[in-house]
Structure 1
Amino acid sequence: MPGHDETHRPPRADEPGRIDLDRASQARVYDLLLGGKNNFEVDRQFVQELLKIAPEIAELTRQNRRWLADAIDRMSADGGIDQFLDLGAGLPTARNTHDIALRADAAAKVVYVDNDLTAISHGQALLADDRSSFFADADVADPAAVLTHPVVTEALDLTRPVGILLGLVLHSIADPARVVADYLAAVPSGSYVAITHPLNPRDGSRLAEFATAIEEKLRDAFPHIRFRTGDEIAGLVAGLDLVAPGLVDLASWWPEAERTLHAAGPGRLVLVALARKP
């Protein structure tokens, strides 16, 4: 990959003894829920247990990908965005960010960022000969490290507007408001951020009870995960110009005729927002 120093790269997932096969991986679990095949028995067992609690979660994951594709299309068509930073990108899947961005603009550039070993291995292999899409091995919770990574600095022009994608990522970060603010501070006016985040209203409602059950199960494998309230998620995009229909649940993003999730059902478990830096 251009500009990537192999002498300082992290170990690849295909190198012996590098992957902890006793623990599920968020990237592999997400890929499995999307129908992917890059997973191990520990991931499959965890997903089977998760689906017993929330059988709808696979469809929510697919709808999350659908939403991200729509956000990329809107950023390209309405905002003229031709460079994207996909944070916590995970494993290559159907309708990757670069597939969607390049369909809208053949000159678009995309940088994927992740520090999951399996994601690094597959991402770098997929994009090894690509000159429009790149993979940076870095921790998305450390904006300074991401923004100074040689892959990012060589592929993207951070003096021009950028589309930042944070799809089902921030619930794994302890201080998401700081992280979002740091990324937005590094890009100019006209840049966008696309966020999807699991909701737990913590108000004693049935939705809160359902969200808590999922959250607690996820913490069996991923102890740092935290769903957030609507007010907490709204704070992540405070001061930005929200694209209509604003900060809404996943089911309500689309007009009623285009919805595939019931507005009163599990689609309420994920809030989404596309926002522009003024």
Structure 2
Amino acid sequence: MPGTYEVRPPAATQPAPIDLERASQARVYDVLLGGKNAFEVDRQFVQELLKIAPELPELTRQNRRWMAEAVTRMATGGRIDQFLDLGAGLPTADNTHDVALRTDAAAKVVYVDHDLTAIAHGQALLADEHSSFFAGVDLTDAGAVLTHPAVTGALDLTRPVGILLGLVLHSTADPAAVVADYLAAVPVGSYLALTHPINPRDGGRLAQFSTAIEGKLRDTFPHIRFRTRDEVAALLDGLELVEPGLVDLASWWPDDERKLSSAGAARLLLVALGRKVA
């Protein structure tokens, strides 16, 4: 229940300066979406990834499409009018606030990211906004996030909140703690939208494909870890899942709305939308 969660003091660390010799996850994601806010090191890294999985740009776009669908469902069926977008990355088309405001003109959104490029572009995008805000902190430090002025000023954590964790938990060492911290801070009726890459680690073709992508990512991002379906499902314990539950990206959509084959790279990504009920 909200009020029983003790916010830990924020970590007293400062973000490192932008490293132009090393790819950034936020900028790599932007390149895969067709964005231009990247450096040559990011574009070269993406080219290496595409040699292993040429479907990744489409998969990334469909992940974005799913996140927009999750926001729409939370805003309509769940009547959520405030959102916390954790690990938001660089601004692109159909940002969370764009989607939320189409349903409710009074909706509030706080974006959270500690990538310096994301901070610069996010703050510039939202400079004239009155419904959307940016907190330049590490999402894994729930204390820093939940006490940040952008969060405390925009969101009422005594009312239900929509929490977004899109393609970020595979970059965290303890995703269960991250999810638990945020769910403990919001009331019953709040929602969690999650997408996470999978590696079944069973020796099959999908496992081999996942391991190849995971290995390439770890060359630059050593903390990356894809997880099994059971591991991802455990992150959602206690939540009431919206149909069709925890499924791969292609299987979420009705057959006539699918953009990706369920036999291809779409099986790499699990998605789920869950409601806090206790």
The answer to whether the superposition gives a TM-score over 0.5 is yes
Corresponding residue of 2:60: 61
CA distance in 2, matches of 1:9, 1:152: 19
2:144 aligned with 1:145? yes
Q: How do 1:144-183 and structure 2 match up within 5 A?
A: 144-183=143-182
Could you give the per-residue CA deviations for residues 232-264 of structure 1, whole angstroms, max 9, x where no partner exists? 000010111000000000010000110011111
2:220 aligned with 1:221? yes
SS of the aligned residue for 1:227 comes to coil
TM-score by length of 1: 0.94
TM-score by length of 2: 0.94
Corresponding residue of 1:270: 269
Q: Which moved more, 1:142-151 or 1:209-218?
A: 142-151
Residue 145 of structure 1, CA deviation: 1.2
2:19 aligned with 1:20? yes
Corresponding residue of 1:188: 187
Residue 9 of structure 1, CA deviation: 11
CA distance in 2, matches of 1:142, 1:268: 30
Corresponding residue of 2:231: 232
Corresponding residue of 1:99: 98
Equivalent position amino acid for 2:23 in 1: A
SS of the aligned residue for 2:77 comes to helix
Q: Would you say the 8 A contact 1:108–1:132 is kept in 2?
A: yes
2:75 aligned with 1:76? yes
Q: Would you say the 8 A contact 1:88–1:167 is kept in 2?
A: yes
Identify which of structures 1 and 2 has the higher relative contact order when contacts are C-alpha pairs closer than 8 Å and 6+ apart. 2
Report percent identity of matched pairs: 77
CA distance in 2, matches of 1:156, 1:177: 23
Name structure 2 gaps, 5 residues minimum: 1-11
Q: Would you say the 8 A contact 1:115–1:137 is kept in 2?
A: yes
Residue 10 of structure 1, CA deviation: 6.1
CA distance in 1, matches of 2:89, 2:218: 19
Q: Would you say the 8 A contact 1:10–1:137 is kept in 2?
A: no
CA distance in 2, matches of 1:133, 1:45: 33
Taking only aligned residues, the RMSD between alpha carbons, in angstroms, comes to 1.4
Name structure 1 gaps, 5 residues minimum: 1-7
CA distance in 1, matches of 2:142, 2:197: 22
